[in-house]
Amino acid sequence: LSSRVVENLFWLGRYSERVDAASRLLRVVLTHHIDNAGEVAPPEEALLRVGEMVRILPVDNPEDEDAEPQSIEDRLRTAIYDAASDNSVANACRRLIWSASQVRERLSLDHWHSLNRMQRDLQTLRPSNAELGDMMMVLDSVLQVSSSLTGFSLDNMTRDTGWRFHLLGRRIERMA
């Protein structure tokens, strides 16, 4: 295999895992936030700190006097929709789709149906007016695609060196 193919399969694995982990964490935070009607309970506070530590959620720095504090909804909106933010779900999805496009011949048709669905969903995002329910629907949709991609990787990819690099990328991202 060429180094280009191996590198893109590796990053495809990393971005697949990144999309999945970020979406799952944000969905848990969002669920707690909705269930507590906006009140920040200790479990949600702990989840917010974890999200900040793994750099999925933007850090709200109350010590910075010049910065206006962001609401939890705004921080969630950024973590989901802001394609310019390095660790947002939208950014990870775009990078995942790009990596996949570089190794298109190595992926099954089922992979592509799911990736096309993800791309269509990303194109319809309206972050500026997204409500909590909208954010939950986006995360649920991303997780459905992410789960199917995981299954296709395990069931439909040829078990060769490229597949091993793909799995290596997933496992390294899971440890990070």
- Which of the 8 DSSP states describes residue 83? T
Tokens of 5: 């193919």
Q: What is the pLDDT of residues 79-90, one digit of tens each?
A: 998 888 888 999
Long-range contacts (CB closer than 8 Å, 24 or more residues apart) made by 120-124: 121/145, 122/90, 122/93, 122/94, 122/97
Q: What is the pLDDT of residues 98-141, one digit of tens each?
A: 999 999 998 888 889 999 998 888 877 766 677 888 889 889 99
Question: Is the overall model pTM greater than 0.75, yes or no?
Answer: yes
Distance CA 94, CA 86 (A): 11
